Structure formats: C-alpha cells, structure tokens
Structure 1
Amino acid sequence: MNQLLYIVWNPDLVAFRLGPLSVRWYGLMWAIGIALAFLVVKRLYKEQKIKDELFAPLYIYCFFGILIGARLGHCLFYEPDHFLTSGKGFVEMFLPIRFLTNDGWKYVGYQGLASHGGTFGLIVALWFYVRKTKLSIWRVLDNIAIATGTTACFIRLGNLMNSEIIGKITDVPWAFIFEKVDAVPRHPGQLYEAIAYAVLFFILWTLHKRMPEKVGTGWYFGFCLTYIFTFRFFIEYTKEIQEAFEASLPIDMGQILSIPFIILGVYCMLRARK
C-alpha cells in the first residue's frame, strides 16, 4: 500500500490555551454540539409558542443526562472489569481522575463516553424535565430529536480529533493514518458518523418545516432513533472493537446496544401513524 495516498492524521489534542488553562478539541466539540442543539430547540420552542421559562431548565437536564448516561454506559458495558471490581475503579467511574499504580492520582477527564448510554441518559433526563414542566413528553422528544444531529456530529468530530474509535485497516483512498495509534491506513469511522449525523439534522429540519403537525406525535423522535442506530449498526463493520472481550461476540457491543433503540424508534414511528 502506498501510504502517500492516505491522510496522515496527528492533530494536537489541545485546541487553544488561555494561560494555564488548556481547552481540548474533544471538550470544545462537545460544547459546540450542545450549544447548537440549544439554539435549535430554543427556536423550535419559540415557533411553537412555548413559554421561555419552560425552556430555561432544559439545557441543564440534557447536559447532565447525556454526560452521566454516556459515562455510565461506557463503564458498565465496555469496561466493567475495571470500574466494578474495586473501590478505586468505582470512584473513577464518577470522577474524571485515574489512580496511579503507586500512590496518588491524576486528572484525565472523562475518557470513555458511550453514545448508547448518552441516549438513554437523555431520555431519562427528559422524563424528569416533563414531570417538572408538565409539557408533553412526545413534543419534547420530537424537538430534541430534530436538534440531535448537530450534537452527535460534533461529538464524533471530537472523537476524530482524539484519534479514538478508529476504523479497521483498509486501502480506500480516503483512509486515515492515525499516527497516535499506528502507521497503517484505517477507515475514518468517526468521520463517517459525523457526516451521517449532519445529514440527519438537515433531513429532520426540512421535514419539520413541511410537516410541523407531526411535532408532538413522537414521529421525529422515532425517525431519529431508527436512523442513528441503524446507521450505527452497519458502520460498526468498518470499526475496530473497543474492548478485547467483543472479539468473542457474534456482533460487537455497539451493535448489540443499537438493536433496542432501533426497535424503540420503529415503535414510535408506528405509534405516531395511529
């Protein structure tokens, strides 16, 4: 294979520095993704004449729901042997630190966030949100679904900047050589997903303009889940497994966790037709 044909990828993990403070690309992408979704949903609430005071707490619920769900999803499904077998591991599950082999600890950030867990955490958080605001759960879920593609896109771009969740070895001309990992060309799985999620946003935004009456039926939420996790199921075939135990499974953990969300998405779309 002629490596001159491929994209050599080795960006600095730090986007910029403000004195002693370093802002990493991954955190910056998360912030941009959530901020864009915030603006999209705020506009949707305004179009639907939902009171501003009902929108105000939504960001807090979504932020912590996604973060907690994504963190627990990774720890419980991908690294249970590390996080559930010792007291130190249990602490690391909740705090952005890693205990050293001798004494002490170091700050490492939340290294390990699972999108499936983030989705589940978001749904739970929105359930608490609607209990507080008395809004329709289906209206809230549909509004969030329309904006979801923006956040999902930028999170995957953050993964790309971190050279994580890499693809399998390939000879396609758009292959990336992730120098932080090895020196062989691989599928840029993170980029595939980022593009797919950007397309999802434009599809849902266009559809909601044409069919605003469907907002509140759960159809957009169902479409979002079905699209994302069906794509996620098949894109896993181009990606390396994240943990060694997945090699013994007929399909990897990402695919296993996608199936319930696909079923839920199809159910919501069928329910909306009734």
Structure 2
Amino acid sequence: MVLNSITWTVKPEIFSLGPISVRYYGLCFAIAFMLGYHILERMFKSEKIPLPWLEKLFIYVVLGTIAGARLGHVFFYGWDYYSQNIGEILMVWKGGLASHGGAIGVITAVIIFSKKISKTNPLWTLDRLAVPVALAAFFIRLGNLFNSEIYGHPTDKPWAFRFVDNMYQWIHLNAEPIFTAPSHPTQLYEGLAYLALFGLLMYMYWKTDAKERTGLLFGVYLIGIFVSRFFIEFVKNNQEDFEADMALNMGQWLSIPFILVGVYLIYQSTKVKIAKK
C-alpha cells in the first residue's frame, strides 16, 4: 500500500517538570553543539592548534548564534511587532530565531574571537567552523520538524506530511487535533541538504588540501546552505504576512548576499599557492 501522506503527531515536548519543559528542539540544539565541539576538537588536535582556543571559540559561537538568530528574527521578520514590544526581544523562549541572523552572529563572533584570541585571519577559523555548523544546521531543521513549524505548501507527493494545526489546544486543552493539508516537509528537505553538505565538507577537510586554501571551505558552506535555502523557499510557506506580495520572500533575498560572498571566496581560494610538502 502506498501512503498518500504521513500524519505527524509527535509532540514538541519530551517531558515537563512543572513550568519547565524539555523540548526536542532544545535537545537538537544541544546535540548539535556537543557534536560540533567534538569535531572541532579532532581538527584542532590534528593541526596541533592550542585546545584552549577551542573552549573560548565555543563560548563565542554559542553566544553569537543565539544573539544573532534572535536579532535576525526581530529585525528581518518581526520588527513591526517588536518595535512596539521592546521588552520581548530578549524572550528567546517564546520562539523566533532566524538562520540568516544566526549566520551573521557566528561570523561576528569569529571576527571578535580572531582579533582578541587567535590573532589569525577570521577565514581560517570560519573554514574549520563551517564543517560542524553544517551538521548543526541539519539538527536545527530536525528540531523544526519536531516543532511542526516552517513546513511547505500543500502537495500530493506521497512523502507529504500532515501537521497538527491546533498544537496548543491539542496539547494543553485536550482538543481533537486539526490537521493541515498534506504539505511539503521542507524541514526535511533543508535538513537532508545540510547533512549532504556536512559530508562534502568533511571529505574536503580530511581528504583534500581544502583547509590550506583560505576561504574555500567557508565559501562552499555558504553556497551549499543558502542555495539550498533559496530554492526550497519556493515550496515553503511564508513566515510573515508581509512576504505575500514579494517577488522573492525574505529568506530568499537574505540568501543572495551569502551566495555571492561564497562564490567570491571560492574564486579567491583558487589563487592561494599551496606549499609543496
């Protein structure tokens, strides 16, 4: 029997302790950071880079990711609301993170780290950081799936998902679930694209001279992440009402500068002369 769609009834919360709840989204974030730390530790050891740098870089990146992703959501998608509710900007637990803002936050954090701690070209750090961040992007989209959010347009594809549309009432008020029309699981589309990118970057780092070509790994990362995002946006629901009249939605417009920077970095990396060993 061929399925016409997949009914997704996984609740976002793993368990609750009074007012505190542990959610799959937070678990995915935690796993992403732990695996990322382990991957970078292997890289640093293989290149004989001081491990204390890693501990400080980890702190910079965590803070940069959260601050950037939150401010990205506030300014790119919700400024009309937050400009009237300034006090809610810091309420990250209420939801609202933007991946483009997270990318800007990470880049800013790495620039500060490179100036204050490693005294190296920020691209040197970004090349190495790109590998685990691609894996983290996969886990974040997996978290979005558990939250039943940022899914796509209705479709008749056999892998379409039916999500619970009245999540709060279903979980907290014991209401019968109301399901969306079968829709594109764009969280999985993006997540699988990012997982493939992670595999490519791991291969390039460990099996080629890519890490010696400054900007190459980070350039490939930018193109892999944001080209995937750009095209998947065509089948994804808009996040905000104001995007309805736009030729390209906000996510697509924000992706274009990152793609162009990626192309430039790859081009520049081809000019790097590798010393013969």
TM over 0.5: yes
Determine if contact 2:114/2:120 at 8 Å carries over to the other structure: yes
Distance 2:213 2:25 in 1: 33
Q: Provide the secondary structure at the position in 2 that maps to 1:33.
A: helix
Determine if contact 1:116/1:257 at 8 Å carries over to the other structure: yes
Alignment of 1:232-247 (within 5 A): 232-247=229-244
Q: Provide the secondary structure at the position in 2 that maps to 1:16.
A: strand
Aligned to 2:10: 11
Deviation at 1:136, TM superposition (A): 3.1
Q: What does the per-residue CA deviation read over 1:161-204, in whole Å, with 9 as the maximum and x for residues that have no partner? A: 00110100000000000123643100000011111111111111
Amino acid corresponding to residue 180 of structure 1 in structure 2: D
Q: Provide the secondary structure at the position in 2 that maps to 1:159.
A: helix
Alignment of 1:58-137 (within 5 A): 58-84=57-83, 86=84, 89-96=85-92, 109-133=93-117, 134-137=119-122
Aligned to 1:214: 211
Deviation at 1:213, TM superposition (A): 5.2
Q: Provide the secondary structure at the position in 2 that maps to 1:113.
A: coil
* Pairing 1:166–2:151 present: yes
Q: Provide the secondary structure at the position in 1 that maps to 2:89.
A: helix
Distance 2:91 2:13 in 1: 21
Question: Quick one: structure 1 residues 213 and 253, their matched pair in 2 at CA, closer, same or farther if it must change by over 3 Å?
Answer: closer
Q: Provide the secondary structure at the position in 2 that maps to 1:56.
A: helix
TM-score (norm 1): 0.90
Aligned to 1:187: 184
Q: Provide the secondary structure at the position in 2 that maps to 1:186.
A: coil
Q: What does the per-residue CA deviation read over 1:118-146, in whole Å, with 9 as the maximum and x for residues that have no partner? A: 00000000001111121332220100011
TM-score (norm 2): 0.89
2:256 to 256, 259, 262: 259
User: Number of residues paired by the alignment?
Assistant: 258
Amino acid corresponding to residue 148 of structure 2 in structure 1: S
* Pairing 1:57–2:42 present: no
* Pairing 1:250–2:247 present: yes
Distance 2:43 2:140 in 1: 22
Determine if contact 1:241/1:247 at 8 Å carries over to the other structure: yes
Deviation at 1:18, TM superposition (A): 5.6
Amino acid corresponding to residue 51 of structure 2 in structure 1: D
Distance 2:109 2:212 in 1: 20
Distance 2:165 2:206 in 1: 43
Distance 1:38 1:91 in 2: 33
Aligned to 2:175: none
Distance 2:152 2:141 in 1: 13
Distance 1:145 1:18 in 2: 36
CA-based RMSD of the aligned residues comes to 1.8
Q: Percent identity?
A: 44
Determine if contact 1:138/1:216 at 8 Å carries over to the other structure: no
Unaligned stretches of 5+ residues in structure 2: 167-178, 272-277
2:142 to 157, 160, 177: 157
Determine if contact 1:142/1:215 at 8 Å carries over to the other structure: no
Deviation at 1:147, TM superposition (A): 1.4
Aligned to 1:175: 160
